[in-house]
C-alpha cells in the first residue's frame, strides 16, 4: 500500500492529521501538498494526486479540501480515477466494496478529525468484492472512452 495524499488550503490541517494516522498505521505515503494554509486551487492538487494514482505509481489517493466537493469533482475528471466523497464510515466501506474507488475525498470544514480518521482507516482496509460490481465498474470505465 502506497498512498498519495493532497489538499488545498481548506483541507491542509486535516491532511496533516491524516498523515499522522498513516504514520501510526505504518502506511507509506507521499504528500503532494499543499504545505500551508496559503490559498491554492484545488484542481491543481487533484490533478497531481489523481494522475499519480491513475499511472499506477500509488495504490490509492486521499484528497481533502474545505468541503471535499470541488477536489472530488476534479479528481473524477482524470481517466482511471474513481473518487468518492465520504463523510461517514458506511459510505467509506461500501464505496470500496462496490465501486473499487481509488481516491477518497473529504472536507475539513464538514467533519472532525476523529471521524475522518475512522473513514480513512475503513476505506484503506476494505477490499473490492468484484463479481457483479466488477461488471458495473467496467461500465463506468467504458464511459471514459
Ligand atoms: C476553498 O475556499 C474551497 O472552495 C475549497 O476548499 C473547496 O471547499 C471547494 O470545493
- Whether 3 shows a pLDDT value over 90: the answer reads yes
pLDDT tens digit sequence for 89-128: 999 999 999 999 999 999 999 999 999 999 999 999 999 9
What is the pLDDT confidence band of residue 143, given thresholds at 50, 70 and 90?
very high
How far does residue 70's CA lie from ligand 1's centre (Å)? 6
Whole-number Å distance between alpha carbons of 103 and 59: 9
**Among protein residues, the one whose CA lies closest to atom 4 of ligand 1:** 66
Give me the percent of the chain exceeding a pLDDT of 70: 100
The pick from 6, 7, 8 for probing ligand 1's pocket by mutation, whose C-beta has the most ligand atoms within 8 angstroms, reads 8
Which pLDDT score is estimated for 145?
A: 86
pTM across the whole model = 0.98
What is the pLDDT confidence band of residue 64, given thresholds at 50, 70 and 90?
very high
User: Could you tell me where the beta strands, DSSP code E, fall in the chain?
Assistant: 2-7, 28-31, 60-65, 83-85, 103-107
**Among protein residues, the one whose CA lies closest to atom 6 of ligand 1:** 66
From the list 34, 32, 44, the residue with the least C-alpha distance to 9 is: 34
Domain regions of the chain by residue span: 2-143
Name the CATH superfamily for 2-143.
Sugar-phosphate isomerase, RpiB/LacA/LacB (3.40.1400.10)
Amino acid at each position: 500500500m502506497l498512498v498519495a495524499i493532497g489538499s488545498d488550503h481548506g483541507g491542509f490541517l486535516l491532511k496533516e492529521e491524516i498523515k499522522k494516522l498513516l504514520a501510526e498505521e505504518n502506511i507509506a505515503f507521499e504528500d503532494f501538498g499543499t504545505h500551508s494554509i496559503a490559498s491554492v486551487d484545488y484542481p491543481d492538487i487533484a490533478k497531481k494526486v489523481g494522475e499519480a494514482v491513475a499511472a499506477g505509481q500509488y495504490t490509492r489517493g486521499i484528497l481533502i479540501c474545505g468541503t471535499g466537493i470541488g477536489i472530488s469533482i476534479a479528481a473524477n475528471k482524470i481517466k482511471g480515477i474513481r473518487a468518492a466523497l465520504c463523510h461517514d464510515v458506511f459510505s467509506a466501506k461500501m464505496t470500496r466494496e462496490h465501486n473499487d474507488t481509488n481516491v477518497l475525498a473529504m472536507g475539513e470544514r464538514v467533519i472532525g478529525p476523529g471521524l475522518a480518521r475512522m473513514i480513512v482507516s475503513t476505506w484503506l482496509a476494505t477490499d473490492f468484492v468484484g463479481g457483479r460490481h466488477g461488471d458495473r465498474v467496467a461500465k463506468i470505465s467504458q464511459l471514459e472512452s
